[in-house]
Amino acid sequence: MDNISEIIKIFLAAMTPIGELRISIPLGLTVLHQPWLLVFFISVIGNIIPPIFILWLFPRISAWLMTHSKLMNRFLTWLFERTRRKAHDKIEKYGDLALIIFVAIPLPNTGAWTGSLAAWLFGIPMKRALINVFYGILIAGVVVTIITTGFIHLF
């Protein structure tokens, strides 16, 4: 039972918007002393859940708001046009790789949450966005696991 509660802690930490894998993997390895492979997979699974909801809900919510509020219609139309216009060249040049790298870099203001929001703003189709976010999560998980296990072995 104690192991289940530790797995839940890792899973929930991976779902947090700021912590994500940057918190769940070090927590699982250094504080909870769980096996690295278990921590990696639980963290990846926990981290992919918020993007599913973001990429599924945000388009529906924004469409509803745009049809029910002139102010929101104006604001969201402006936001989408401005965002897409400013990033169009970079997205055309780097494509899916840009989203994968953005999610994969384990730094503040990057990750699955922000990458999913960016994909929504740029109008990337849900399936393609989820695949790219998932690849980014896998890479970030490998990077954070390597850094954390290397740090553990230093001490």
Nearest to 115 by CA among 26, 62, 48: 48
The span from the first CA to the last CA of the chain, in angstroms, equals 30
pLDDT digits (tens, 9 = 90+) for 122-136: 889 999 999 999 999
pLDDT, the chain, mean: 91
pLDDT digits (tens, 9 = 90+) for 40-86: 999 999 999 999 999 999 999 999 999 999 999 999 999 888 888 87
pLDDT digits (tens, 9 = 90+) for 23-33: 999 999 999 99
Average the pLDDT over 114-121 and give the result: 91
Phi, psi at 83, each rounded to 5°: -60, -50
The number of angstroms, rounded, from the C-alpha of 138 to the middle of its chain's C-alpha atoms is 10
Helix axes 70-94 and 36-68, enclosed angle (nearest 10)? 130
Q: Which pLDDT band holds residue 154 (cuts at 50, 70, 90)? A: low
CA pair distance 115, 134, nearest whole angstrom: 10
Average the pLDDT over 1-21 and give the result: 91
Nearest to 152 by CA among 11, 34, 10, 20: 34
CA pair distance 141, 42, nearest whole angstrom: 10
The number of angstroms, rounded, from the C-alpha of 38 to the middle of its chain's C-alpha atoms is 19
pLDDT for residue 109 = 85
Using CB atoms within 10 Å of the CB of residue 5, give its burial: 0 to 12 exposed, 13 to 18 middle, 19+ buried.
Answer: exposed
